[in-house]
């Protein structure tokens, strides 16, 4: 009986000796490395406590999951050792370590840890000073917001206000006239027609200007109170502006004629027409056909004799309509 007991104790000693001589199995290695991981992460949490405390809850959850995982920590610690041996920053080495442990690819040297960036941006002045102890200066440059990416928009320039339209009857320019005295109620000055919208009744060649001339038929030097604009027989004559037919008529001098009243004392007169297309009192719109070109009355050929008046004073029509060059 005693011999059996001695034999059992000898076997137990041999088993214990073999166990001590055998290397750790994988489970024991993993448990030991898990304890080391806890220590490393505890240090990281302690360092990060003053850097990004908002992340502590997430780190705690990651630690809890890590303890229960079966991970090859040898390679992770190997990379951590190599990183520290190259004198990289602590957070840079821990970043590479965490990539190996939790999966993913190692961050490039120029890339900042994405989990760090939002917290640095929240309080850049204080946080950058703290991170400068752990992260190289060249990496901190990536954390600085790009102020040129979204520049403060300059206020849109307000458009220049349109110049105010001169009131009807305002003298826009004085004529440098040194000829014979003008007849009563005739002027060479340029007057404003206010906000009246106008157009050229007949675009043609200017045959005779406003002012003194030798009459083409009787040869008498006298004042011509309008502008003669050449045109084809039967060509349409349009209304100078919106208005009302003031009167229509016919005589030996002007032939068929009519006058439009545009309001504010502004009137337009059309003579030597071959046909009148409106009647007295009729409302017309700017550009509406009111007559046709002719050579009725005292005329040498088909043309439009156009006159403009402001409060009974005759104006130079060429200051308000266009004509073709001869």
Position 131 scores a pLDDT of 43
Position 105 scores a pLDDT of 45
What's the CA gap between 272 and 296, in Å, rounded?
5
Position 281 scores a pLDDT of 98
Among 207, 209, 228, residue whose Cα is nearest residue 306: 228
Count of C-beta atoms within a 10 Å radius of residue 97: 24
Compute CA 146 distance to the chain's CA centroid, rounded to the nearest angstrom. Answer: 22
Position 84 scores a pLDDT of 46
Position 76 scores a pLDDT of 53
Position 45 scores a pLDDT of 54
Position 39 scores a pLDDT of 72
Q: How many helices (H) and strands (E) does the chain have?
A: 8, 14
Position 88 scores a pLDDT of 45
Alpha helices by DSSP H, the chain = 2-21, 26-48, 56-67, 73-85, 90-102, 117-122, 124-131, 137-140
Position 64 scores a pLDDT of 55
Position 56 scores a pLDDT of 52
Position 108 scores a pLDDT of 44
Whether 30 contacts 73, CB under 8 Å: yes
Among 64, 52, 61, 45, residue whose Cα is nearest residue 113: 52
What's the CA gap between 91 and 176, in Å, rounded?
88
What's the CA gap between 114 and 120, in Å, rounded?
10
What does R_g of the chain's alpha carbons equal in angstroms?
52
pLDDT digits (tens, 9 = 90+) for 33-61: 766 766 766 666 556 555 555 555 555 56
Position 159 scores a pLDDT of 73
Position 110 scores a pLDDT of 42
Position 264 scores a pLDDT of 97
Query: Per residue of the chain (326 residues), what is the pLDDT tens digit?
Result: 555 555 556 665 665 555 554 555 566 666 667 667 667 666 665 565 555 555 555 555 655 555 555 555 555 555 555 554 454 444 455 555 555 544 554 444 444 444 444 444 544 445 445 444 444 545 545 544 555 556 677 777 777 676 789 999 999 999 999 999 999 999 999 999 999 999 999 999 999 999 999 988 888 999 999 999 999 999 999 999 999 999 999 999 999 999 999 999 999 999 999 999 999 999 999 999 999 999 999 999 999 999 999 999 999 999 999 999 87
Strand 206-208, strand 227-230: pairing: antiparallel
What's the CA gap between 206 and 203, in Å, rounded?
9
């Amino acid at each position: 009986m005693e011999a059996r007991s001695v034999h059992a104790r000898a076997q137990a000693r041999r088993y214990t000796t073999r166990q001590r001589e055998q290397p750790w199995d994988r489970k024991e290695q993993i448990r030991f490395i898990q304890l080391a991981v806890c220590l490393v992460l505890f240090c990281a949490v302690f360092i990060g406590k003053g850097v990004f405390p908002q992340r502590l809850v997430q780190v705690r959850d990651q630690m809890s999951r890590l303890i229960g995982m079966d991970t090859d920590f040898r390679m992770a610690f190997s990379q951590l050792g190599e990183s520290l041996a190259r004198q990289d920053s602590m957070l840079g080495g821990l970043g590479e370590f965490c990539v190996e442990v939790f999966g993913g690819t190692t961050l490039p040297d120029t890339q900042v840890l994405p989990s760090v960036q939002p917290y640095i941006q929240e309080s850049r002045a204080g946080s950058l000073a703290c991170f400068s102890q752990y992260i190289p200066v060249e990496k901190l440059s990536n954390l600085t917001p790009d102020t040129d990416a979204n520049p403060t928009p300059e206020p849109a320039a307000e458009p220049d206000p349109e110049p105010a339209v001169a009131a009807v009857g305002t003298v826009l320019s004085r004529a440098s006239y040194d000829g014979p005295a003008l007849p009563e109620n005739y002027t060479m000055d340029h007057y404003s027609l206010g906000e009246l919208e106008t157009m050229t009744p007949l675009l043609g060649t200017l045959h005779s200007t406003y002012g003194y001339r030798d009459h083409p038929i009787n040869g008498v030097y006298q004042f011509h109170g309008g502008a003669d604009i050449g045109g084809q027989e039967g060509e349409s004559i349009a209304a100078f502006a919106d208005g009302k037919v003031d009167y229509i008529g016919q005589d030996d001098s002007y032939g068929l004629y009519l006058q439009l009243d545009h309001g504010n004392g502004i009137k337009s007169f059309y003579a030597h027409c071959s046909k009148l297309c409106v009647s007295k009192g009729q409302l017309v719109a700017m550009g509406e056909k009111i007559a046709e070109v002719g050579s009725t009355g005292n005329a040498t050929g088909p043309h439009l004799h156009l006159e403009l008046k402001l409060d009974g004073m005759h104006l130079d029509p060429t200051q308000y309509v266009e004509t073709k060059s001869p």
